[in-house]
Structure 1
């Protein structure tokens, strides 16, 4: 599960600055999550650090970086991993609000900004598992 570039193309991972950029993205995202009354309870660990590391490694791998996520956790199985949590449209929208702020904070050039945002938006809609 990776957005591998063609042999003569640069991956989005490399094009936007690699690991430091993905760490900035995820750190900014979790700043919002930490203060969000709807989302914060979905992260049972007291410290959001482990969740932030998992998301960072997943996104880095998906966009062409190292496969550390799969090497340590196996196949992403995103829907299965999120199944224990009620992800309804309100949770999706809250997640997207914080992620939009995080993506926009990076100041990425086009088409990288749109590619990243479009993926994250599709992923958020895919995670919805409750319409209650």
Structure 2
């Protein structure tokens, strides 16, 4: 049914690189390290001017802490619980972990990381993408 992570991202990245005036790519790691700068880049891409006074407010409202709190609120929503029951899921899937750059290392062994690196290099060798994993 689905083409897998690599196929999906290969298509998306090619489209994003071909249509830079229509698609902006924002990476979590860069957003986390330079929230205001990345939000400014997004506002510029959207053609929104005089957004500087709002950037701090947007950054705060979209902070990991606030998104995590909002997720807990949604999880308590009766409609979502009904959807989860209909899907035969006992628990709501975890969307947010810690929000820390490099947290994947807590889930991957060294061997798993090396295997991923080999597969990633093979599957994405012709794609120009600067991903920050740490």
Which of the five TM-score ranges fits, normalised by the shorter chain?
A: under 0.3
Structure of greater Rg: 2
- Name the TM-score, length of structure 1 as normaliser: 0.27
- Name the TM-score, length of structure 2 as normaliser: 0.27
